[in-house]
């Protein structure tokens, strides 16, 4: 897990485990080249646990409450799997505006990338149930 966290800190956008099939590998590489982030599903739960532990240590409750309405809207679309370009088209904004909002979101939430942000959303929602 420390390798994955270190890689995410260094800014990787894809982390694939051994044994992935050729077709899946090609699809994942295409998506990552298009700007998406990919972490093997088997590792996602571990990352969520790590983020949950970080939230518990910080005692910050719901970190999403510090976002503006627009940042929250964009983050939820990104968390739903949309690329910056797709979010921009949906909201009738420029892609660079979405990137700017996401940079602010990452800083506010204390995450390093889209994957961590999406997992944080999932964790907060699961905790609210």
Instruction: Please give the tally of structural domains in the chain.
Output: 1
| Mean per-residue pLDDT, 64-77 | 87
> Which two tokens mark 73?
């809207």
The beta strand positions in the chain, using DSSP E, are: 14-15, 38-39
Decide: 21 and 40 in contact? Cβ < 8 Å.
Answer: no
| Mean per-residue pLDDT, 76-102 | 89
What CATH code is carried by the domain that includes residue 12?
1.10.10.10
**pTM confidence score:** 0.52
pLDDT band at 89 (very low <50, low <70, confident <90, very high): very high
pLDDT at residue 91 above 90? Answer: yes
Range of the domain at 70: 2-128
């Amino acid at each position: 897990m420390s390798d994955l966290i270190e890689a995410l800190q260094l800014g990787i956008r894809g982390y694939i485990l051994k044994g992935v099939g050729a077709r899946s590998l090609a699809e994942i590489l295409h998506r990552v080249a298009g700007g998406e982030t990919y972490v093997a599903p088997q590792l996602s739960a571990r990352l969520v646990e790590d983020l949950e532990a970080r939230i518990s240590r910080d005692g910050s409750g719901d970190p999403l409450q510090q976002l503006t309405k627009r940042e929250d809207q964009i983050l939820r679309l990104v968390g739903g799997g949309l690329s910056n370009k797709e979010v921009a088209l949906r909201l009738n904004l420029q892609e660079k505006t979405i990137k700017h909002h996401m940079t602010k979101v990452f800083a506010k939430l204390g995450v390093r990338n889209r994957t961590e942000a999406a997992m944080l959303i999932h964790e907060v929602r699961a905790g609210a149930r």
